[in-house]
Amino acid sequence: MALSEFDLIRRYFTHGARGVTLGVGDDAALVRVGRGAELAVSADMLVEGRHFLKGADPALLGHKTLAVNLSDMAAMGARPRWATLAIALPKVDEAWLGGFSRGFMALARRYSVALIGGDTTRGPLTLSVQIMGEVPPGKALRRDGAKAGDDIWVSGYLGEAAMALEMIGGRGWRGLSRDDRRTLEERLHAPTPRVALGLALRGIAHSAIDVSDGLLADLGHICERSGVSATIEWEAIPAIPLVRAHAQTDSGARGLLSGGDDYELCFTASPRRRAAVMAAAARSRVRVTMIGRIERKARSPAPVTVLDSVGRALKVKARGYDHFR
Ligand code: ADP
Ligand code: MG
């Protein structure tokens, strides 16, 4: 079998780095740049035909290109500050560039992120951002801090982007109203990074990740890095009624558990901090839902167990998105 995306990164791109607080393996790296602050650095790339379809709306693409990067800052509890943009374009199309730039810069301004450099070349449409943010030393939300007994939380609602992708990818929009379609497409094309929530969770959450590859995969990353297991309740996973109803089908259930592109935060915190978590969520104007519990590392190979309404473990096939599998 081909190397998975994560085996590949581990084998070829994970080299110990001295003088680095946190290297490869989290939502962002952390480097100490002075006394008072740590710099959080992360990169995310969107490729035509892989992350978006040919002919995608350029303003929405501009938004999403930055949003997915802001989401990694959110997952670290870092305040986003600067970005560079490397872009490959098949041709100069000013209408496209105007739209892309508008979408990108509107979000940059909203989060006070400065575009400070980048690279431009001819090639298959590829949009790559490196983002940098600040976090007080030792305060970042990492994937490796989850502790047995922690509550597991997620922000917002999951599964809308996956459902939109499923509809676009084959099934079509039959049977869905125009409003339903708009709701789903908006979540896929214009995700909202949970930056305020990430900042508010500093000092409260033990660990965090953004849900970009699917809940099971991303919660699985927290488990792996923290040396723990997780049990979550199927019924507790927050989903809008449309997604919940679709989750009665196999593909719908898979989308809710393993579909990517939600860009919500999944995080863990001590049960003693429930009130603090709720207050942080209220301050950042986003809903949070407790979906399960972190446990001591189990012997079974899967780090995340999903229980149905009567406490039986669900059999889950697809565990998340991997670019090479
Ligand atoms: P995310 O989903 O948060 O964007 P990824 O799953 O893309 O994170 O990557 C996992 C980890 O591997 C991250 O810490 C990322 O920085 C690192 N990584 C990915 N590709 C490379 C690469 N080519 N070289 C070095 N590090 C990489
Ligand atoms: Mg991430």
The token pair at 113 is 């992120």
Residues with CB under 6 A from ligand 1: 9, 13, 24-27, 44, 72, 212-213
Average pLDDT, the chain: 94
Q: How confident is the model at residue 323 (pLDDT cuts 50, 70, 90)?
A: low
What is the mean predicted confidence (pLDDT) over 293-310?
A: 91
Whether 225 shows a pLDDT value over 80: the answer reads yes
Q: Are 316 and 216 in contact (CB under 8 A)?
A: yes
What are the structural domains of the chain? 5-135 (3.30.1330.10), 143-307 (3.90.650.10)
Over residues 236-282, the pLDDT tens digits come to 999 999 999 999 998 999 999 999 899 999 999 999 999 999 999 99
- Closest by CA to 291, choosing from 187, 152, 163, is 152
pLDDT at 317 over 80: no
Pocket test for ligand 1, best of 7, 22, 24 (most atoms within 8 A of CB): 24
* pLDDT at residue 44, as a whole number: 96
Task: Check pLDDT > 70 for residue 220.
Answer: yes
**310 CA distance to ligand 1 centroid (A)?**
37
75 alpha carbon to ligand 2 midpoint, in Å? 7
**Distance from residue 272's CA to the centre of ligand 1 (Å):** 32
Q: Which pLDDT does position 174 carry in this prediction?
A: 86
Higher pLDDT, 23 or 324: 23
With pLDDT > 90 as the criterion, what percentage of the chain qualifies? 85
Q: How far is the CA of 42 from the centre of ligand 1 (A)?
A: 8
Q: Give the environment of ion ligand 2: residues with CB less than 5 A.
A: 27, 72, 210
Strand, coil or helix: 291: strand
Distance from chain centroid for Cα 180: 23
Length of the chain as a residue count: 325
Report the first-to-last Cα separation within the chain, whole angstroms: 8
* Token pair belonging to 162: 């996956």
